[in-house]
Chains A and B, each alone.
Chain A
């Protein structure tokens, strides 16, 4: 029984302590930067680290701290928009993109990211507009070229996509992303051409040497790796005797 009284007494004392805590002077402040450092850019650094670790909610807090230190700091809006978008808050993301560009309309990265945001939302016209704006500000930007090529490809404009990627691979031959997109576009073109073959030949059966388009792509890939070119030979045709 005494034990219960002791426990009850302890609980009461503890609750009183919690109601009237002594406050530590150095209590952690969510937006406290070390003294002597530019806080806005410091918090953007913190936010970038959290965003890179996919801790977008934490990153948004950091970017908001940066904006508390400097309400006109466009890089903080620009980055917070990306994290808002990653968390699926489209309205907040768009508001932040717009806020960043209202402060500085020359931010190429913001046009690129907003373009990507529009493309993800299925608004390809606005996506192309933003990516083209990015390219008018920085003509050789490899990411903008790649992203615009992707949007062109989604719209079936493979020639425009290839043109952008040709520019990208010429100007940035070491950028791997463009080659991946280029491969995908050639795959799409392959599928499109096989489809056209079937339409023109008037047959639903795949008369390709290695089977379906997917099998054909696989056989080409295998041939490139092994040096076996037989899949190509299957595409050759003998001369038509009626030809002079």
Chain B
């Protein structure tokens, strides 16, 4: 009896410890700090000038894929010039994400969220990072938090739709995308564009993120089609029946498309971030 009691107590203690460990970030120990960078540009000038300079420099390096140089530029901002400059943390996180140093990226994005708890872009970028990490529950939480901060934030709802698709939640993805297509009025703009009586000299203005919703919707439907084809093939094969050639061919084409062109397991190409424009500069 006593032995059983000890076992139960130990089991409970083990479960409590496990739940504590589980709840923690994957980076329980602080990461070793990198050496302080040398940041001589515009020394003695106002802080705003220096942050603007290093943002420009860092973004140019980032776009050139000179990631180490970009890291130094953003480190100049957050470690030397202004530790409260949210965009600097997001920028450096972007560099770390590209370098696949996800723990450091997460630490920087946590700092950005801490500094700007209402900044949709910070949550969206952290959700983006979790998607890289395939930590879908936390990605979902962050995209939702971004939308709580700003319900019209296109990168967050686009990314949420991608997440739904990756997880096979096609109905949710379709509902979200159709709602946004309607509320952003991109469907109205499309009708206007198609109007044969419109003056073709007048340009049609639209937001490219809104137009992209149609592309996402197409991908979701294709993915859903593939799932249905797979179900059919699985049932037929299981029963020893021959799959209809035309359906098999269509399924193969879709399978190929999702293997090569529309890869969702490497969904980073589909995810949106509007850094630095929305980074709270």
Contacts and interface: CB of A to CB of B under 8 A. Distances in A.
B133 interface: no
B207 A45 contact: no
Interface residues of B, number: 35
B59 interface: yes
Contact of B61 (A39, A49, A62): A49
Given A22-B193, A36-B281, A49-B61, A42 B208 contact: no
Contacts of A48: 41, 53, 56-57, 60
Interface stretch (B2-10, B142-150, B198-206, B256-264): B198-206
A24 interface: yes
User: Interface majority SS on B: helix, strand, loop or mixed?
Assistant: helix
A20 B200 contact: yes
B66 interface: yes
Contacts of A38: 48-49, 52
Contacts of B236: none
Contacts, number: 92
Interface string A40-52: 0111111111101
Contact of B52 (A24, A25, A37, A53): A37
A37 B281 contact: yes
Contacts of B55: 34, 37, 42, 45
B281 A49 contact: no
Contacts of B73: 45, 49
B206 A24 contact: yes
Given A35-B277, A37-B281, A53-B66, A45 B48 contact: no
A49 B60 contact: yes
Contacts of B204: 22-23
Interface in B161-195: 193
A211 B58 CA distance: 54
B60 A22 contact: no
B69 interface: yes
Contact of A49 (B51, B64, B205): B64
B281 A22 contact: no
- Counting chain A CB atoms within 10 Å of each CB, the highest count among B55, B56, B208 belongs to B56
Nearest to B70: A49
Contacts of A33: 56
Given A26-B208, A34-B276, A50 B48 contact: no
B60 A50 contact: yes
Given A34-B276, A37-B281, A53-B66, A22 B56 contact: no
A21 to B, nearest CB: 8
Given A34-B55, A41-B42, A53-B66, 20 more contacts: A22-B193, A24-B207, A25-B205, A25-B206, A26-B208, A33-B56, A35-B281, A36-B280, A36-B281, A41-B49, A45-B55, A45-B56, A46-B56, A46-B57, A46-B59, A46-B60, A49-B66, A53-B64, A55-B64, A62-B56
Interface of A: 20, 22-26, 33-39, 41-50, 52-53, 55, 62
Interface of B: 41-42, 48-49, 51-61, 64, 66, 69, 73, 87, 193, 200, 203-209, 211, 276-277, 279-281
6 contacts: A22-B193, A24-B205, A25-B207, A34-B281, A43-B56, A55-B64
